[in-house]
Amino acid sequence: MTNRQYILSLVMLGCLFFIFGLVSWVNSILVPYFKVACDLRSGFQTYLVTFAFYIAYLVMTIPASVLLRRVGYKKGALIGLWIMAAGALLFWPAALTRTYGMFLAALFTIGTSLAILQSVANPFVTIIGPHESAAKRISVMGVCNKFAGIIAPLLFAAVVIRPQDKLTMELIESGSLVGQAKEIALDDLVRGVIVPYVVLAALLFVFGIVFYRSSIKDINPDRDNKTPSGEGDRKSIWAYPYLILGAVALFAHLGSQQISISTIISYAQGTGLSLEAAKVFPSYTLACILLGYLCGIVLIPRYLSQQKALVICTVLGLVLSVLVLILPPTTSIWCLVLLGIPNSLIYAGIWPLAIRGLGKWTSLGSSLLVMALCGNAILSLLYGSASDHVGLQGAYWLLIPCFAFMIFYALRGYKIERW
275 near 32, Cβ under 8 Å?
yes
The percent of residues above 70 in pLDDT, for the chain, comes to 94
How far is the C-alpha of 252 from the C-alpha of 238, rounded, in Å?
A: 19
pLDDT tens digits, residue range 345-389?
898 789 888 988 887 777 778 788 888 888 888 898 898 889 888
How far is the C-alpha of 213 from the C-alpha of 220, rounded, in Å?
A: 18
Nearest to 282 by CA among 28, 32, 16, 19: 28
pLDDT tens digits, residue range 137-180?
777 887 888 788 778 877 887 888 777 777 777 777 777 777 88
In this prediction, residue 232 has a pLDDT band, given cuts at 50, 70 and 90, of: low
Q: How many CB atoms lie within 10 A of CB 89?
A: 20
- Residue ranges covered by each domain of the chain: 3-215+237-415
pLDDT tens digits, residue range 54-78?
888 888 888 888 888 788 888 888 9
Position 416, amino acid:
I
Query: In the predicted model, what is the mean pLDDT of the chain?
Result: 84
376 near 254, Cβ under 8 Å?
yes
- Which is more confident, 131 or 115? 115
213 near 5, Cβ under 8 Å?
no
Q: Please give the sequence-ordered ranges of beta strands (E in DSSP) within 104-147, or none if there are none.
A: none
Model pLDDT, residue 131: 65
Q: Which residues contact 366 (CB under 8 A, 6 or more apart)?
A: 65, 119, 122, 123, 221, 355
Superfamily of domain 3-215+237-415: MFS general substrate transporter like domains (1.20.1250.20)
* DSSP summary character for residue 194: H
How far is the C-alpha of 136 from the C-alpha of 159, rounded, in Å?
A: 34
pTM: 0.73
Q: Which residues contact 361 (CB under 8 A, 6 or more apart)?
A: 222, 234, 236, 237, 240
